[in-house]
């Protein structure tokens, strides 16, 4: 398999793009080598500029849950394009998609569409502060919520420390109201409340997807929600990644928890830039033009994105592929573990719905610290062997693999053979 044209484009891109990419993970920094440049995609397959075709388990990091260019979604997009691209005014489809989303999330009466998950989250935090009249937000180490200043923070050495900026250009003042807790550790949350009386709420991914796939322990989410209610603080659930990926609606419902504010993205846009935040009426009525919390966006509710979202969610509800997703994920877990055992490689596999992640470690992964015990050098070898054998993975040990409802038995056979090749390559390190 050759990557000559990707190499040429990478060299050319270095001139006018930062690192030849527009998002850091695409740079392949954690796996070595140069990034692949993609030409097209259809169904379960993605093709690079060297005409190498791969089974796609990235799916644009989640949105393409029906596979690429699903015929019904494509038809809806084509129809919308004929009417114009953007109006800066309201359209009927904004109302239609809002109803689909709100109906899928108990406790969500109103939603506001934005253009990205980052935008949804930063707006949700502002809303939580506006509603409670408090300033501080607790986030969990290893949970990623976009690149807004207040959330680009790294945990300190203690459980109840103030955060430090996790990126250059983020002033300490921007993160002074952000506190760090440990995922799956309620006591680390309580420690902050013991030291601060101005905490507006806690934000978390119900299933963490940016430290790998890490699920909540036992009744962690329920106990967290109950505790927050006792403190008059809000639970902000970031379902940008998990929304519509484990059921038609949110992962929170599977854990018997109802968020005060929910953030969405990815799947609800069907591949177009869409984010959203929603809540019950008393909270959402704080948002302008009904209330004093200001948030706006010229391209919010873009008509093409709304059409793609409506079509995607309508088809997804019709297909109801969630049992299928669990079965496929279970098969992949078995293949991964059996192949690793055959080659005497330490491996644990975490999965949830249509999200899967193998960790090259021997310990169970329930938080960011444990995830970091994974051997990233082994993952890099595994990644490139998967690429060479026709399977496109996220280029990071700490990113989830995503499944689409278009996956076939032939795709799974190819993926299984690639996994075996990857484990064999690791055994020769």
Which residue out of 48, 56, 238, 411 is catalytically annotated?
238
144: annotated active-site residue: yes
Q: Point out the catalytic residue in the list 10, 266, 375, 378.
A: 266
- Pair 134, 199: CB distance under 8 Å: yes
In 356-381, which positions are buried (b, 16+ CB within 10 angstroms) versus exposed (e)?
A: bbbbbbeeebbbbebbbebbeebbbb
User: CB–CB of 308/286 below 8 Å?
Assistant: no
Q: Which of 144, 183, 277, 322 is catalytic?
A: 144
Longest dimension (CA), the chain: 63
238 is catalytic: yes
**Beta carbons of 340 and 321 less than 8 angstroms apart:** no
Q: Do 133 and 147 touch, CB atoms closer than 8 A? A: no
What is the spatial distance between Cα 305 and Cα 298, in angstroms, rounded to a whole number? 13
Listed in sequence order, the DSSP H helices in 343-408 are 368-371, 376-388
Structure tokens at 217: 């322990």
Measured distance CA(368)–CA(208) in Å, rounded:
9
Torsion sign across C-alpha atoms 389, 394, 397, 403:
negative
Using only the alpha carbons of the chain, give its radius of gyration: 21
Listed residue (362, 78, 400, 12) closest to 210, CA to CA: 400
Q: What CA–CA distance (Å, rounded) separates 288 from 290?
A: 5
The conformation of residue 299, written as its DSSP 8-state character, comes to: T
Q: Which residues are catalytic?
A: 144, 238, 266
């Amino acid at each position: 398999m050759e990557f000559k044209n990707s190499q040429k484009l990478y060299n050319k891109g270095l001139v006018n793009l930062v690192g030849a990419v527009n998002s850091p993970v695409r740079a392949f920094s954690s796996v070595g080598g140069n990034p692949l440049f993609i030409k097209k995609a259809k169904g379960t397959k993605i093709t690079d500029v060297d005409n190498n075709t791969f089974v796609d388990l990235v799916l644009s990091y989640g949105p393409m849950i029906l596979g690429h260019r699903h015929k019904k979604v494509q038809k809806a997009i084509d129809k919308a394009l004929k009417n114009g691209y953007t109006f800066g005014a309201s359209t009927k489809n904004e109302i239609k998609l809002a109803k689909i989303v709100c109906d899928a999330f108990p406790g969500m009466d109103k939603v506001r569409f934005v253009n990205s998950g980052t935008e949804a989250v930063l707006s949700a935090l502002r809303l939580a502060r506006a509603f409670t009249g408090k300033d501080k937000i607790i986030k969990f180490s290893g949970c990623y919520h976009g690149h807004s200043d207040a959330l680009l923070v790294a945990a300190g050495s203690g459980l109840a420390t103030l955060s430090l900026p996790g990126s250059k250009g983020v002033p300490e003042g921007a993160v002074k109201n952000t506190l760090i807790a440990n995922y799956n550790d309620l006591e680390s949350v309580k420690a902050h409340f013991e030291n601060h009386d101005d905490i507006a709420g806690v934000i978390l991914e119900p299933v963490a997807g940016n430290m790998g796939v890490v699920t909540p322990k036992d009744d962690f989410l329920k106990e967290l929600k109950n505790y927050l209610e006792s403190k008059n603080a809000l639970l902000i659930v970031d379902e940008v990644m998990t929304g519509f990926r484990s059921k038609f609606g949110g992962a929170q419902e599977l854990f018997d928890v109802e968020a005060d504010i929910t953030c969405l993205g990815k799947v609800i846009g069907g591949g177009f830039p869409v984010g959203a935040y929603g809540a019950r009426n008393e909270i959402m009525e704080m948002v302008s033009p009904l209330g004093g919390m200001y948030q706006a966006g010229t391209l919010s509710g873009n008509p093409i994105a709304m059409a793609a979202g409506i079509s995607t969610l309508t088809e997804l509800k019709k297909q109801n592929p969630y049992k299928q997703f669990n079965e496929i994920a279970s098969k992949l877990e078995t293949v991964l573990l059996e192949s690793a055992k055959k080659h005497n490689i330490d491996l644990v596999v975490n999965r949830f719905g249509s999200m899967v992640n193998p960790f090259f470690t021997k310990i169970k992964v329930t938080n960011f610290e444990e995830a970091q015990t994974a051997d990233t050098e082994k993952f890099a070898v595994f990644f490139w062997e998967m690429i060479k054998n026709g399977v496109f993975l996220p280029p990071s040990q700490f990113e989830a693999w995503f499944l689409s409802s278009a996956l076939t038995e032939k795709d799974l056979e190819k993926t299984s053979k690639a996994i075996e090749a990857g484990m064999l390559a690791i055994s020769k390190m």
